[in-house]
Amino acid sequence: MAHVYPGYPQRWRAGVMRGIVGRRSTSMPTVVGVLTAEERQEVEEVVLRYIATRSRDFPKLRASREVPLDLLARGALEHPVGKYRWRCIDLLDHLGDASADAIFRTALNDPLPRVRRHAQHALDCMKCRPR
C-alpha cells in the first residue's frame, strides 16, 4: 500500500467534485485539509512576495514575523501545484521553527519527487534555519 498523502491529490479532487474548491461563497462548509480558492491565492501571493529574498535578509524577515507561517504550512501540503508546495517548504526552511518539521515529514510523502527532495533538505538542513 502506497503512502496516503493527506492534502493532495485525493482530497483536493474530492473538494472539486463536491463543488467546494474553487468557490468563494461563505455559506460553503469548511473542509479541513483543502485550500479554498481564496486561500490558494493568498499562498501564491505570499510565495511570490518572499521567494526571492536573499539569504542574508532572512534573519531580519524572520524577526519581523510578517510572513504568515501557518499559511505557508498549509500551502506546503495542500496547494494543488507542486511548484508552490516546494516554494512554501523553502520559505519554511528559512523562516519556520521546529514545529515546521512535522510539515516537512508529511511532505516526504508528496506525490512529486521535487517536493519530497525539498522536504528532505529542510529536515536535514542546519544552515537555513536557526535552531
- For Zn ion, which is the closer residue by CB, 1 or 126? 126
- For Zn ion, which is the closer residue by CB, 35 or 69? 69
Q: How far is the CB of 18 from Zn ion (least distance, A)?
A: 37
- For Zn ion, which is the closer residue by CB, 93 or 110? 93
Q: How far is the CB of 81 from Zn ion (least distance, A)?
A: 22
Residue 59 preceded by cis peptide, ω within 30: no
Distance in angstroms (rounded) separating the CA atoms of residues 70 and 49: 16
Distance in angstroms (rounded) separating the CA atoms of residues 59 and 61: 5
Residue 96 half-sphere exposure toward CB, CA atoms < 13 A: 25
Q: What does the block give as the cell for 61?
A: 524577515
Q: How far is the CB of 127 from Zn ion (least distance, A)?
A: 6
Q: Residues interacting with Zn ion, by CB under 5 A?
A: 93, 125, 128
